[in-house]
Structure 1
Amino acid sequence: MEDHSSETFSIRTGEPVITQDITKEERFKTPDFMRAAGVAALANVPIFLPGNRTFGLLQVDDVEPRDFCEEDTQFLRTYATILGPVIDRLHKMQALQSTTERFALVVENARDYAIFVADPQDRIVDWHKGAEKVFGWTAKEAAGMSCSELFTPEDRAKGEDRKEIETARREGSAPDVRWHVRKDGSQVFVDGSTVCLRNPDGSVRGFLKIGQDVTEKHRTEQRLSESEALQRSLIAGVPQLVWRARSVGLRIWSSPQWERFTGQHNQDSLGMGWLAAVHPDDRDLVTAAWEDAEAKGGLDCEYRIRRASDGEYIWHHSRSLPGSGLGFEWLGTCTDVQQLKELQTSQEVMLAELQHRTRNIVAVIRSLSLKTIESSLTLEDFAEAFSHRLAAVARVQSLLSHLGEYERLTFDDLLEAELAAHVSDREKITLDGPPGIRLRSRAIQTFALALHELATNAVKYGALASSQGRLTIRWRLEHGSDGRSPALLLEWVETGVENMPSDDAPAQGSGYGRELIERGLPYQLKAKTTYEMGAGGIRCTILAPIAFDLGRNSPR
């Protein structure tokens, strides 16, 4: 319709239009097709559907000029009023039929969905093709069958069939996600629901049941769930810190072990948040290792991770290989290698100590041999003296070999070993000093040789060789020469010695033993020493500085 036509005016204004002779009409423009058809006069009224919705126009045309009266327009109005609801009903019926056809088409072709209807007593009254395919019963076989027969015996025993109907009746619908029984006795897992159908008065008309056969999906999910549960169980049982990450170390999951060790929640460790638990000095190393991981085909690096319980950083060895499939995930572990690191360090220290001791022993033996040669008159003298001095060296090494990593040999242990090697009867000996004074490693060998020379001289020529002789050995801690560092003061006092040797006798101490005490100890240990020949025997003092172990609150 054109904008200036009588039809357009009538529909827009809702008022009838009468044109008695179109040749004299000046208000509206008559369409050309109407003029060509011979229309000479017209009368029209608009047609409205319920809700005042415009549908169209009812118009009467005449081929001759005509004087349409009020009765004519009233008739048209009445007729248009009747036409509106009739047309609306026809539209609704057409739409309903179309909807019903579409619904039937969907239901008949939804073969993976079991769709059926039951009466208020839950007996099947409408069974579609999808239900036949899912459960196996034909529509004829299923008619009148109780829906409870579709439930497994276990669920019927628990009353699940009755609970489902009562829930739908009370709440309008109920989930129906469970195993069901097929006609042949096999089971099918259905994911569906039961909907309560009601009459206009609210009474129950029946139940609509719709469910999809998801048996394979459910079994796959069940196997996946079991696999994930097994994986979580295995991960929870390993002592390592386990994690999953994307490329370049972007973490997507951290195990409970990581949370317990670092105190960092899984959410906080995601992305690169886990680096907060890594020692600041190791973060660049870890980042570089991740950048090279894909090219190398794996991650393998060591770094320190903070332990939440005490704040200590503990060495861990991190290993990972890229997985396959979507997302290109990395599953990796961090293994505590702190003890291994400490053992490696200890081995290095022990190796260095062994090398140091070996060099020292070689130097000591070389010095012993030279000094023993100088003080020996015959080969027999040399063999005897050298053999005893080597035995003293061996005793010290034996004592050292039984010490732990952080243990130190004490002066009273060293003294006891030397006396035991020379003296069987202790009645003539008085010992006076505190136990547990720890000696430095480099001081032990020199101290041992000095004690050996003093003991040998006492047994052969001094207090232990005389019937009236007495030997008193005292030791204690004093301040060193600097007035601050601790020092060990040893006093060796012999009395009651008869027939003291002459000054030129080797046993008097003019040989290796006296030279060791008067010259060797001051040179090697910064010690202060005295060596005197009294009327009743030898009197010797040694004041040697020793370091102080603050961690153990005892000297070493």
Structure 2
Amino acid sequence: MADQDATMRRQRLLADFGEFALRSENLDEVLQEACRLVSEALGTKRAKVLEIQEGGQLLLVRAGIGWDPGIVGNLSLTMSERSSESYSIGSRGPVITQDISKEKRFDVPDFMRKAGVVALVNAPILLPGGGTFGLLQVDDTKPRDFGQEDTEFLRTYTMILGPVIDRLLKMRQLRAAEERFRLTVETALDYAIFVTDEEDRITDWLPGAAAVFGWTAEEAVGQHGGILFTPEDRAARQPEREIEMARADGVAPNVRWHIRKDGSRVFIEGSVRALHDGGGELRGFLKIGRDATERRAAEERLRESEERFRQFGEASSDLIWMRDAPTLAFEYLSPAFEPIYGRSREEQLAGNTLERWTELIHPDDRELAVQQLLSVRDGARANFEFRIIRPSDNELRWIRNTDFPLLDNAGRVRRLAGIAKDVTEEKASAARLEVLVAELQHRGRNLLGVVSAVAGRTLGHAGDVEHFRSRLQALSRAQGLLSQSGSDTVEVGALVRAELEAYAEAGPPKVVISGPRVRLTSRQVQNFALALHELTTNAVKYGALKGEAGQLSVHWSVGRTGKGRGSLALEWVETGYEVPPETGRRGYGRELIEKALSYALRARTEYALDAEGVRCRIELPLA
């Protein structure tokens, strides 16, 4: 009768535990109640649950009854080979020790000996699917023979306890996942997340959707998903097309402009996913989209900035470049690189760009150029000039570089940039200017010498001041032509026309001027202009330009001297007028032509005056 009562009591305790486990969702409470009920059922007043931890290396006293609070929840046992706990877990069955003082099979932990444990029984707690949670261990403080009924009861008890533990563990994991999901969707306010039913009616409207689109959950739920689309997309039936694609393929992209509650537009990058139940039936659609309005605007501004930079770089005749600071390798070269350096950008940007750049630099300037780059990488600015040998034509060119560092937000040099300008012509102009200044000084001295000679010949032969003034004007005209040409040479035709136009408005057929383009140096121009002036003056006073009948022909040609040098031969011929009788006096003009030109310009001259008119030939070597 006593055994029957014990059995009934144990069955009632099992029922009580099952009822408690169904009501409770707290694992620690369930384990603690399991220990209390099993100790009552076996009459030991001591029991504990050991949980496997650290991948099977330790056993934590997770719950217990009749044990010091400092042990429960704190003490861990090592799962050694000689422990009854390890053996029970390994054999997946109960293990009994009737009296630990006589136990030879296993080692008993010291804390149990100190607590007065004499007898114990272990029963593994198995989880559905074959896993092991740990052990249910019942202890007694006196020797005891745990019989078959005891072990069978423990097996039944742990078989109930295992699924209960498994359910609570999974509930805890599920709730943790749900909490993580809740925190995620509530804090990810730049992500619009919502759910629609199979007809695309909004059923769940999460905080991110409210933050992005402006509608509250009360306003959005029940509305058609198409309310978020722009009028033009609704007119094009884009909402329906997205849903049909998600229905057919499982997912559809949603990357386009949408409408907020206030009518403003927001650019969404997202997708629509079909939701199916366990049987594969469509239940609705999950829509997730990120507000990319600001990023898209920033990207658009960046594209516009890059396009402006590209247009500026392509339009500039100067080279604009950028280098990576650590390697000094080119990252960008504007199109001006090709005409300046004589190499294509594609060729220059291939391989080791620093080495390919330095090989273009004149050997004497390479060290300077590289040192300047290194100083810019250290944060300095640099302005320097160097020479290159342009490979396209082997021409030596001067380059002026203006280099400066580009810093990141931390103030470190991230890139090097600069502007390079071909200053070869500028340097040549400067050199020519120096030559011209020296020539001007020389020309001034020569001009003073000529004026002095003219003054001496004119005034010394009792000539009047008017003749002197006219000869100075001839020199002035020659100097004016030199200034207009921008160089130290004047074209012969310009000299002849300037002199004749100064005295008469004569043109063909009265005056015929012809000849190729030939330039005289400044030293030749001054004396040659005086000779032309004397010929013109005599023609106006006595010759072909005095009356209406006379004719004048001025022609010149280019030939070679006996030594092979270029020479100019000018023919001045006056005809068709009444030649006055020759007085026999040789004036300054004829003397200038026949003697001064020969002395000053090494010219050969022939001058003849007869009944037919005047013929003068001047031949001088060209510089």
TM-score normalised by structure 2 residue count: 0.63
**Match of residue 30, structure 1, among 108, 116, 121:** 108
- Note if 1:525 corresponds to 2:607: no
Superposition CA RMSD, Å: 5.8
8 Å Cα contact 2:314/2:336 also seen in 1: no
Provide the secondary structure at the position in 2 that maps to 1:208. Answer: strand
Query: For residue 528 of structure 2, what is the aligned residue in structure 1?
Result: 447
Superposition pairs for residues 345-360 of structure 1, below 5 Å? 355-360=441-446
- 1:78 and 1:349, CA in 2 relative to 1: closer, same or farther beyond 3 A? same
Cα offset, 1:368, TM superposition: 0.9
8 Å Cα contact 1:240/1:334 also seen in 2: no
8 Å Cα contact 2:335/2:345 also seen in 1: no
Query: For residue 458 of structure 2, what is the aligned residue in structure 1?
Result: 372
- Note if 1:145 corresponds to 2:145: no
Provide the secondary structure at the position in 1 that maps to 2:283. Answer: strand
Larger mean CA deviation between 316-325 and 357-366 belongs to: 316-325
| CA offset digits 1:42-85 (Å, max 9, x no partner) | 5545444456544223456564443756x876776676566545
The amino acid that maps onto 1:235 is F
Query: For residue 312 of structure 2, what is the aligned residue in structure 1?
Result: 235
**Match of residue 447, structure 2, among 340, 346, 361:** 361
May I ask how many residue pairs the two structures share in their alignment?
A: 529
- 1:41 and 1:435, CA in 2 relative to 1: closer, same or farther beyond 3 A? closer
Superposition pairs for residues 61-76 of structure 1, below 5 Å? 63-66=142-145, 68=147
Provide the secondary structure at the position in 2 that maps to 1:506. Answer: coil
**Match of residue 95, structure 1, among 173, 178, 195:** 173
8 Å Cα contact 1:176/1:194 also seen in 2: yes
- 1:425 and 1:37, CA in 2 relative to 1: closer, same or farther beyond 3 A? closer
Query: For residue 553 of structure 1, what is the aligned residue in structure 2?
Result: none
Task: List alignment gaps of at least 5 residues for structure 2.
Answer: 1-76
- 1:301 and 1:49, CA in 2 relative to 1: closer, same or farther beyond 3 A? same
Provide the secondary structure at the position in 1 that maps to 2:246. Answer: helix
User: Quick one: distance in 1 between partners of 2:301 and 2:534?
Assistant: 81
| CA offset digits 1:141-173 (Å, max 9, x no partner) | 433221112223232122232233234334444
8 Å Cα contact 1:242/1:331 also seen in 2: no
Cα offset, 1:485, TM superposition: 1.6
User: Quick one: distance in 1 between partners of 2:517 and 2:396?
Assistant: 34
The amino acid that maps onto 2:521 is R
- 1:285 and 1:38, CA in 2 relative to 1: closer, same or farther beyond 3 A? closer
**Match of residue 206, structure 1, among 270, 284, 287:** 284
**Match of residue 159, structure 1, among 219, 232, 237:** 237
The amino acid that maps onto 2:520 is L
8 Å Cα contact 2:535/2:589 also seen in 1: no
Cα offset, 1:133, TM superposition: 4.6
User: Quick one: distance in 1 between partners of 2:422 and 2:236?
Assistant: 51
- 1:276 and 1:82, CA in 2 relative to 1: closer, same or farther beyond 3 A? same
Query: For residue 30 of structure 2, what is the aligned residue in structure 1?
Result: none
Provide the secondary structure at the position in 1 that maps to 2:491. Answer: coil
| CA offset digits 1:297-348 (Å, max 9, x no partner) | x877788899999887888887799999946899876678888777777766
8 Å Cα contact 1:243/1:253 also seen in 2: no
**Match of residue 566, structure 2, among 483, 486, 489:** 486
Larger mean CA deviation between 192-201 and 72-81 belongs to: 72-81
What is the percent sequence identity of the aligned residues? 43
8 Å Cα contact 1:241/1:255 also seen in 2: no
- Note if 1:410 corresponds to 2:492: yes
User: Quick one: distance in 2 between partners of 1:454 and 1:183?
Assistant: 99
User: Quick one: distance in 2 between partners of 1:264 and 1:203?
Assistant: 60
Cα offset, 1:210, TM superposition: 3.3
User: Quick one: distance in 1 between partners of 2:494 and 2:207?
Assistant: 101
- 1:523 and 1:77, CA in 2 relative to 1: closer, same or farther beyond 3 A? farther
Superposition pairs for residues 275-294 of structure 1, below 5 Å? 280=362, 284=368
TM-score normalised by structure 1 residue count: 0.69
8 Å Cα contact 2:606/2:616 also seen in 1: yes
Query: For residue 546 of structure 1, what is the aligned residue in structure 2?
Result: 622
User: Quick one: distance in 2 between partners of 1:447 and 1:179?
Assistant: 84
User: Quick one: distance in 1 between partners of 2:458 and 2:254?
Assistant: 103
Cα offset, 1:382, TM superposition: 3.9
- 1:423 and 1:156, CA in 2 relative to 1: closer, same or farther beyond 3 A? closer
Task: List alignment gaps of at least 5 residues for structure 1.
Answer: 548-556
User: Quick one: distance in 2 between partners of 1:150 and 1:34?
Assistant: 68
- 1:446 and 1:240, CA in 2 relative to 1: closer, same or farther beyond 3 A? closer
| CA offset digits 1:213-272 (Å, max 9, x no partner) | 565x35863784586378458737964648476999979875755467554369949997
User: Quick one: distance in 2 between partners of 1:190 and 1:423?
Assistant: 85
- 1:87 and 1:521, CA in 2 relative to 1: closer, same or farther beyond 3 A? same
User: Quick one: distance in 2 between partners of 1:397 and 1:409?
Assistant: 12
- 1:82 and 1:528, CA in 2 relative to 1: closer, same or farther beyond 3 A? same
8 Å Cα contact 1:318/1:332 also seen in 2: yes
Provide the secondary structure at the position in 2 that maps to 1:439. Answer: strand
The amino acid that maps onto 2:196 is A
8 Å Cα contact 1:189/1:218 also seen in 2: no
Cα offset, 1:96, TM superposition: 1.2
8 Å Cα contact 1:251/1:271 also seen in 2: yes
Query: For residue 554 of structure 1, what is the aligned residue in structure 2?
Result: none
| CA offset digits 1:105-157 (Å, max 9, x no partner) | 44445555443221111112223344445444443443322111222323212
The amino acid that maps onto 1:485 is R
- 1:445 and 1:153, CA in 2 relative to 1: closer, same or farther beyond 3 A? same
The amino acid that maps onto 1:514 is E
Provide the secondary structure at the position in 2 that maps to 1:210. Answer: strand
User: Quick one: distance in 1 between partners of 2:258 and 2:508?
Assistant: 97
Superposition pairs for residues 185-196 of structure 1, below 5 Å? 185-196=263-274
User: Quick one: distance in 2 between partners of 1:426 and 1:209?
Assistant: 95
User: Quick one: distance in 2 between partners of 1:227 and 1:521?
Assistant: 71
Query: For residue 123 of structure 1, what is the aligned residue in structure 2?
Result: 201
Cα offset, 1:91, TM superposition: 1.7
- 1:29 and 1:438, CA in 2 relative to 1: closer, same or farther beyond 3 A? closer
- 1:408 and 1:309, CA in 2 relative to 1: closer, same or farther beyond 3 A? farther
Provide the secondary structure at the position in 2 that maps to 1:544. Answer: strand
8 Å Cα contact 2:323/2:331 also seen in 1: no
Provide the secondary structure at the position in 2 that maps to 1:197. Answer: strand
Larger mean CA deviation between 105-114 and 305-314 belongs to: 305-314
- 1:177 and 1:305, CA in 2 relative to 1: closer, same or farther beyond 3 A? farther
